[in-house]
Amino acid sequence: MNKVRVRFAPSPTGPLHIGGVRTCLYNYLFARQHGGDLIFRIEDTDSSRFVAGAEQYILEAFDWLGIKFDEGVSFGGDKGPYRQSERREIYKKYVGELLDAGKAYYAFDTPEELEAARKETPNFQYDARTRGRMRNSLTLGLDEAKRLIAAGEKYVVRFLIDPGEDVVVNDMIRGEVKINSSILDDKVLYKSADELPTYHLANIVDDHLMEVTHVIRGEEWLPSSPLHMLLYRAFGWEDPRFAHLPLLLAPEGNGKLSKRDGDKYGFPVFPLEWKDPKTGTISSGYRESGYLPEAVVNFLALLGWNPGDDNEVMTMQQLIDTFNIEHCSKNGARFDVKKMLWFNHHYLQECDEQILVNALQADLKANGIAETDARVRQIAGLMKERVNLPKELWEQCAFFWQAPEEFDAKSLKKWWKDEAPQYVAALCDFLESQDDWRGETLEGKVMEWIASKEWAVGKVMNAFRVTLVGAARGPQIFAITDFLGKEESLRRARKAVETLSV
Ligand code: GLU
């Protein structure tokens, strides 16, 4: 069998949607597990939709995610150039081949003429039934067509589709998808106005010349595939295998995942933050929001495929080993925000703690607090199990640096009653006498002391906790006193006893 070659072929029309990221990931997993190549091709033949910076953005996103290309724009290779706008001459040659073979023809219909035809014929389609009354080289004759072209008239080249033929697309996920060629129109393959081919021609010519063996792409391209099959046939080329991936659905309802859903449910739909070069509008990205690349990859891999057991947490290598394109689902895959956060939580527990330190340091700085990385690391390690995103740390941890000024009403109601002030005052006196302030030593001493008083541990310690934190929450209490130190712990507790009346 030929070496497996797949490609990811985005059009640089803006930031890459998370669905495109999944498409590329599946291509990557497929290539790796078959010892094949992944090509990065830029499909920029529609110059009206070109957006500056998009190509760079896409490369940066995959670099961040750890998805590597073997060949293509910015990676080199011997089948280039890999940017379609640099391949004009190649496409012209192949368009010429179809024209010479009578499998395509010139058409001169102006937008007005096309509009008139649409008005005249309901559901107008440029095809075997209508092409005989339009202005093209079939009706005018080739000589007249050549004369018009020489005189500078604008034209397009259309693919001549024979009606009444069954076209079968053998999809690795969907099985046989059969359609009749009569429902297809004579697609435009080339436009003289910009001397560029359309997506369809460029796409299949490149897949052929770049020796692509498998086309793995989003479901939205499924309707184009019969046309692509006919083009392969017209050239006499072997067609690649196809796999059309399931749509990504919004968290609720039947619609596909859109940027609006992201705004509504508070999650990014782009891998990296994107600033629109025209409007300046900023769209949030997974990276800047504090998601880890491993979590994004793991989550996306399971949107449309699963390993068939309970195993959900998988490294890139495990995904490569177990991914099976034929087991992808045909149905849309629902985007589950909670699941994404769950994965991020999981990977945060294992990640390089410096990531958490940096996030906390940024918030400390914003609050005018200078602290050493070593001490911030101590808190990050202690608190990370409570957060899904690094930016949630500050809210959970601020009390380590900011003494409570207000106290949570619910916590007070529950724990600041009866003898609570006396307990804490007495505890402060006891603590004052302790020289060894290390958490693990202090804990034993305090427990012995409470037992000797025959007080309820819960009542004493929760009241004490409220004075240090401002609420009945936070990690182990002696981890808190340890970090705050003797002086600050006692200062907070005594001040609270003073300010809080029962
Ligand atoms: N340029 C198309 C896109 O933007 C590629 C579709 C395909 O993979 O054939 O998705």
State the helix-helix crossing angle for 88-100 and 225-235, rounded to 10 degrees.
70
**Rounded distance between C-alpha atoms, residue 393 and residue 379, angstroms:** 9
Q: Are 150 and 123 within 8 A, CB to CB?
A: no
Give the pLDDT score at 264.
Answer: 83
Give me the pLDDT at residue 1, please: 66
Query: What is the pLDDT, as a whole number, of residue 48?
Result: 84
What is the crossing angle of helices 477-499 and 373-383, to 10°?
100
**The tokens of 133 are what?**
């009354």
In a shared domain, residues 170 and 199 = yes
For 461, counting Cβ atoms within 10 Å of its Cβ (0-12 exposed, 13-18 middle, 19+ buried), the class is buried
In a domain, 122, yes or no: yes
Residues linked to residue 190 through DSSP beta bridges, in sequence order? 157, 197
- For 277-319, the pLDDT digits (tens) are 999 999 999 999 999 999 999 999 999 999 988 889 999 999 9
Dihedral angle, C-alpha 334, 340, 346, 350, nearest 10 °: 130
CATH number assigned to the domain comprising residue 288 = 1.10.1160.10
Mutate to test the pocket of ligand 1, among 13, 217, 231 (most ligand atoms within 8 A of CB): 217
Between strands 71-72 and 37-40, the pairing is parallel
Asked if 279 and 214 sit in the same domain, the reply is no
Instruction: Give the CATH number for residue 366.
Output: 1.10.8
Atom of ligand 1 nearest to the CA of 23: 8
Handedness of CA 223, 228, 231, 237 (dihedral sign): negative
Question: Degrees (nearest 5) of the Cα angle 312, 314, 316?
Answer: 145
Q: Taking Cα atoms as reference points, which of 214, 278, 265 lies closest to residue 244?
A: 214
Same domain flag for 335 and 384: no
Residue 323 sits in the same domain as residue 393: no
Q: What pLDDT, on the 0 to 100 scale, is given for residue 149?
A: 98
Contacts 24+ apart (CB under 8 A), 174-182: 174/222, 174/244, 174/330, 177/222, 177/225, 177/226, 179/226, 181/226, 181/230, 182/127, 182/128
Domain residues for the domain of 278 are: 259-349
Q: Give a yes or no: residue 48 inside a domain.
A: no
Q: Which amino acid is at 127?
A: D
Same structural domain for residues 363 and 444? no
- With respect to residue 299, please indicate whether it lies within any of the assigned structural domains: yes
Residue 320 placed within a domain: yes
Asked if residues 256 and 248 have their Cβ atoms less than 8 Å apart, the reply is yes
Residues 313 and 426 in one domain: no
Atom of ligand 1 nearest to the CA of 203: 9
Ligand 1 center to residue 496 CA distance, Å?
64
Question: Reading across the β-sheet that carries 188-191, which strands appear in turn?
Answer: 104-107, 156-159, 188-191, 196-197
In a domain, 228, yes or no: yes
Q: Kindly give the distance from the C-alpha atom of residue 464 to the centroid of ligand 1, in angstroms, as a whole number.
A: 62
Is residue 415 domain-shared with residue 478, that is, in the same domain? yes
Taking alpha carbons only, the member of 228, 168, 170 closest to residue 9 is 228
Instruction: Answer positive or negative: Cα dihedral of 295, 298, 300, 303.
Output: negative
Q: In whole angstroms, what is the distance from residue 441 CA to residue 445 CA?
A: 7
| Structural domain includes residue 69 | no
Shared domain check, 381 and 419: no
State the Cα–Cα distance between residues 101 and 49, nearest whole angstrom.
32
CATH code: domain of residue 490: 1.10.10.350
Whether residues 271 and 364 fall in one domain: no
Of 245, 275, 307, the residue at which a domain comes to its end is 245
Nearest residue to 198 via CA among 42, 82, 45, 41 = 45
DSSP state at residue 42 = B
- Number of structural domains (the chain) is 4
From ligand 1's centre to the CA of 186, what distance in Å? Answer: 20
Residue 383 dihedral angles phi and psi, to the nearest 5°: -105, -10
SS3 172: coil
Among 16, 26, 55, 203, the mutation site with the greatest number of ligand 1 atoms within 8 A of its Cβ is: 203
Which residue, of 371, 398, 425, is where some domain finishes?
A: 398
Residues 300 and 216 in one domain: no
Measure the CA–CA gap between 496 and 494, rounded to whole angstroms.
5
Cα of 455 vs centre of ligand 1, distance in Å, is 71
> Is there a catalytic annotation at residue 384?
no
Is 28 within the bounds of a domain? Answer: no
Element (H, E) at 429: helix 420-432
Same domain, 359 and 345: no
Q: Are 324 and 280 members of one domain?
A: yes
221 secondary structure, DSSP code: G
Say if CB 231 and CB 201 are below 8 A apart.
yes
User: Is 66 inside any structural domain?
Assistant: no
Residues of the chain with pLDDT under 50: none
- With beta carbons less than 8 A apart as the criterion, state whether 271 and 61 touch: yes
C-beta of residue 396 within 8 angstroms of C-beta of residue 363: no
Pocket test for ligand 1, best of 221, 242, 247 (most atoms within 8 A of CB): 221
CATH number of the structural domain spanning residue 202: 3.90.800.10
Residues in the chain: 502
Q: Which two tokens stand for residue 447?
A: 């427990």
